[in-house]
Chains A and B, each alone.
Chain A
Amino acid sequence: MNPYRRSLFIKIATVLVYAFLYTPIIVLIVFAFNSSRTNVLFGGFITQFGPLVMDGSTVVQSPCGPFHWFCELGKNAEVMNATKNTLTIAIISTLSSVVIGTMAALALQRYSFKLKPFSQLSLYIPIVIPEIVMGIGILVLFSQVFTFLNGAFNLAGDSRLTLGLPTVIVSHIAFSIPFVTLVVQARLQGFDKSYEEAAMDLGANELTTFWRVTFPMILPGVLSGGLLAFTLSLDDFVITFFTTGPGSTTLPIYVYGLLRRIITPQVNALSAVWVLVIFSIVLLIQKLQSRAA
């Protein structure tokens, strides 16, 4: 019997489900090259450089040709600011959660201590409670603490404590830690302790053993945990929504605000760039994991 035999039903279902998964994404990308400004209907692809007649009457200068909406995106100050915020948050929260999460994975896998069962359990909480509950909780915490501190120290004007980049970053670190820890822990489970014991026997101290033996071996796990944390942070909407302030809008928050008012092909151009970035990151994670396996 051929182990790879699959019935016709399975094959047809598979094609249909993949079509369901990809049609919306393809439509998004196609409309990023739309030669209609309203983006309600597809007016055909933009084919020319320079002046361009849109929707029958409006003349638009399009030095970028087919990439008109991508250039418009680059000129949009709000988008650029949101991109800067998104990347700042993602980079800081990834670096922090990778260090903290790797430490936690080592602790849980290599040591026994009193708080171990509690620690392991607490890492599963974000998986079993809805994200909105965590977001609301953090919002309640910050708003109550800030109200108290602002009152206690008579803070007013610019020195008032408000929601902003720091609150978003701290929250992102919090939800990324469990994911990094679980990924690195899985990597630690699969490796032979005798390498470390050999290094110690040969006279290496614990620190040398860690940097020369343990760390290189768990590096693929650490990197894929980091990439996971990075994508989670880039992608996050709910937690950011409740912890963000006026000056710390991220891309998902910006797009959400836009969608409730107007729709322009700029959003599609943004989506196309986004899909490309995510595509590269996922490819990288897969390469790392197949090398690790």
Chain B
Amino acid sequence: MLKRLRENKSSQGTLLISPTLVFMVGLLIIPLILTLIISFGKRSADGNVIYTFGLHNYIRILGISSDCPGGQAICFDPLYANILWRSLTLAFNSTVLVIALAYPLAYFIARAHPMKRNTFLFMVLVPLWTNFVIRVYAWMMLLRTQGVINSLLGWLAGLVGLHFTPLEMLYTPGAVLVGMVYEFLPFMILPIFTSLEKIDNSLYEAAADLGANPIRTFFRVTLPLSMPGVVAGTILVFIPVMGTFIVSDLLGGKQVILIGNLIQRQFLDARDPTFGSAASLILMAMTLIVTFFYTRKFGFGEEIVAA
């Protein structure tokens, strides 16, 4: 038996991969299937799941309601649709901002002297790996009414003799946007850097020789060739922004409720796991659809692994 195994390359491979498959199937694929099954179910009085088959949870998220104030048979309740829309627009805005901030930095690092490149990259990795929750806390300290930014502004106003009313920055949609941009910026810098680094320098020389000015060179050479990095970075930023609930929880307070907060509350406070499961699957569907169309349009780079 052992000898036969040694001869058989295919069963050796299967043997080596099997622990991984146990984890991937057991803790990824089966949980997803279970989430799907539960999302058709109902919540029992004590918060458990009653296995039924109905689309009521999905109908509820989409806002089709039979409990109408005007007494109609059916009407639109935009509560959850608004949350979905807010999450989508926030993810879109964060991604665009992150690209705008990440690109110049990635470009700078890619064209730095090779000896210095690692140091600059290292400087991107340290904030990336500093704990997520701690980084949100840092922004709480900065943005609070009595926080660092307001103290600094107040001090500056005092210097020139102006009266200063502290700005209300924490617990606003703006705070959530800044937090998201801060949290996920490194995820965009690394893949853009990877694709920019690959561009052969002779292409720039050729462009310059042929009379292209720097701006033209950027739009005709640099940008198109770095698109795989931008695409990979977009996937790495857009998906987590859609699903994160800590940033909106700590920086948005009760003002900014995203789909992540909605899901989290169904499992902890409101205790309807069936509705939470449906919301979770809608979130997954939204990210997969966006990723699919986006990658089909722009291609899918290997840069995603680099980050």
Binding site for B on A (CB under 8 A): 1, 3-7, 9-11, 13-14, 17-18, 20-25, 27-28, 31, 39-42, 100-101, 103-104, 106-108, 110-116, 119, 122-123, 125-134, 136-141, 143-144, 147, 170-171, 173-174, 177-178, 181-182, 186, 206, 231, 234-235, 237-238, 242, 251-252, 255-256, 259-260, 263, 267, 270-271, 274-275, 278-279, 281-283, 286, 290
Contacts and interface: CB of A to CB of B under 8 A. Distances in A.
26 contacts: A11-B108, A17-B104, A21-B123, A23-B142, A31-B141, A39-B141, A42-B151, A112-B9, A113-B10, A119-B17, A128-B239, A130-B244, A130-B287, A133-B32, A137-B34, A137-B35, A140-B277, A144-B38, A174-B23, A177-B23, A255-B137, A259-B137, A259-B140, A260-B250, A274-B131, A290-B118
A-B pairs with the 3 shortest C-beta distances?
A130-B243, A111-B13, A137-B31
A68 B305 CA distance: 42
Interface string B11-31: 111101101110111111111
B122 A282 contact: yes
A7 B104 CA distance: 10
A275 B125 CA distance: 11
Given A132-B280, A140-B38, A27 B138 contact: yes
A114 B27 contact: no
A6 B108 contact: yes
A279 B9 contact: no
B12 A111 contact: yes
A17 B120 CA distance: 12
A118 B218 CA distance: 40
B243 A131 contact: yes
A145 to B, nearest CB: 9
B172 interface: no
A130 B104 contact: no
Interface in B195-209: 201, 204-205, 208
Residue in B21, B141, B235 with the greatest tally of chain A CB atoms within 10 Å = B141
Contact of A103 (B19, B111, B144): B19
Nearest to B100: A13
B16 A107 contact: yes
A41 B132 contact: no
Given A9-B104, A21-B185, A282-B126, A113 B13 contact: yes
Nearest to B266: A136
Interface string B224-264: 00000000000110011011111001100000000010011
A22 B127 contact: yes
Given A147-B48, A252-B133, A286-B118, A107 B239 contact: no
A25 B130 contact: yes
B13 A242 contact: no
B108 A132 contact: no
A126 B214 CA distance: 40
A10 B104 contact: yes
Contacts of B137: 28, 255, 259, 263, 267, 271
Contacts of A113: 10-11, 13-14, 17
A15 B17 CA distance: 46
Contacts of A22: 123, 127
A6 B10 contact: no
Contact of A128 (B9, B142, B291): B291
B235 A128 contact: yes
B92 interface: no
Nearest to B306: A186
Nearest to B260: A132
Contacts of B118: 286, 290
B21 A115 contact: yes
B133 A281 contact: no
B10 A24 contact: no
A18 B49 CA distance: 49
Given A10-B108, A41-B146, A106-B16, A235 B101 contact: no
Contacts of B281: 133
Nearest to A207: B6
Contacts of A130: 239-240, 242-244, 260, 283-284, 287
Given A10-B108, A17-B104, A271-B134, A122 B24 contact: yes
A206 B6 contact: yes
A28 B204 CA distance: 42
A235 B132 contact: yes
B123 A136 contact: no
Contacts of B242: 130
Interface in B81-120: 101-102, 104-105, 107-108, 111-113, 118
